[in-house]
Chains A and B, each alone.
Chain A
Amino acid sequence: MELEYFLVLSAVLLCIGLYGVLVRRNVITVLMSLEIMFTAVTLAAVSMSRHVGTMKLVDSPAVISDPSVLSTLLTGQVLALFIIVVAAAEIALGLGIVIALYRSRDTVDVSQANLMSK
């Protein structure tokens, strides 16, 4: 598979998520759209890692067979793993804030969360 297919798919997912973050008023849906954006970025990182391993180069490349250099082929996957960890921490905290908001204001509408503007 070509790299561009995966990159375009991740761009489409990112923009759908962005639309959801901007438009939705239910804060749980906003968090879900954020998760879509996270997933899109993860997909881009993994596909880039695969691409660096399989591409053909044009300018007089040096042939490498050193294992320590070779393991850096998977750096994109390590990046994706850390994105997943941060997303898990973010969603746990975000849902905690949602529940605290619901307890104090009785709503999950982001446009109602305006204590500081009054």
Chain B
Amino acid sequence: MLFEEIIFWALSAGAVGAALGVVLLKDVFRSALLLIVLFLSIAGHFVLLAAEFLAVVQVLIYGGAISILIIFAIMLTQNIQQGNLANRLQIPAILLSSLLLAALIFVFLDTDWNLISNYKYETNIVNSAFKDTPATLASLLFENYALAFGLAGGLLLASIIGALSLVRGDQ
């Protein structure tokens, strides 16, 4: 348990530091690199939460595909030297986000999260459900959420076609 907590705090420090860097750094390219650090530490959190499949998906899609896309867009727009300017909303934005943070933390710590469900699961059965998460996830995706799964495929196709037609230009 102690080992888990050490890992948790290390990953959390990495995630929060990287997120602050993404938002505050002047250099857009360094922000994009720190975003990868954030995604990888969140993948570590997923392993802590017994979601190994999601951790792998996080590394592949976020750490690989999305960050490469972002770096690619930064290269294409060539505006790095201008830096990462802030607009005039800085003080209201700090106020708003710290207010939201205070409210969220108060709600999270004040709620009795043990009242969520009416079921009590036997410990060994719960462990078996969390032991083989990819298989359980697959049965959920292809049985209970089959329609949403198909719609997600349609959404990805539509967004690929949309992005292609946006960047294709005038010809």
| Interface positions of A (Cβ within 8 A of B) | 1, 3-9, 11-20, 22-26, 28-29, 31-33, 35-36, 39, 42-43, 46-58, 61-65, 69-75, 77-78, 80-82, 84-93, 95-100, 102-103, 107-109, 111
Contacts and interface: CB of A to CB of B under 8 A. Distances in A.
9 contacts: A15-B98, A17-B23, A26-B79, A55-B113, A55-B117, A58-B114, A70-B129, A82-B148, A96-B166
Given A9-B12, A20-B22, A77-B133, A82 B152 contact: yes
Contacts of A73: 121, 126, 129-130, 136
B160 A92 contact: yes
Contacts, number: 273
Contacts of A39: 38-39, 42, 62
Contacts of A84: 54, 57-58, 61-62
B86 A25 contact: yes
Nearest to B11: A9
Contact of B66 (A35, A46, A69): A35
A112 B167 CA distance: 20
Assign chain B's interface to a size class. Answer: 35 or more
B10 interface: no
Interface of B: 4-5, 8, 12, 15-16, 19-20, 22-23, 28, 31-32, 35, 38-39, 42, 45-46, 48-51, 53-54, 57-58, 61-62, 65-66, 69-70, 72-74, 76-77, 79, 82, 84-87, 89-90, 92-94, 96-98, 100-101, 104-105, 108-109, 113-122, 125-126, 129-130, 133, 136-137, 139-141, 144-145, 148, 152, 155-156, 158-160, 162-164, 166-167, 169
A2 to B, nearest CB: 9
A42 B120 CA distance: 25
Nearest to A36: B19
Contact of B22 (A32, A48, A51, A89): A32
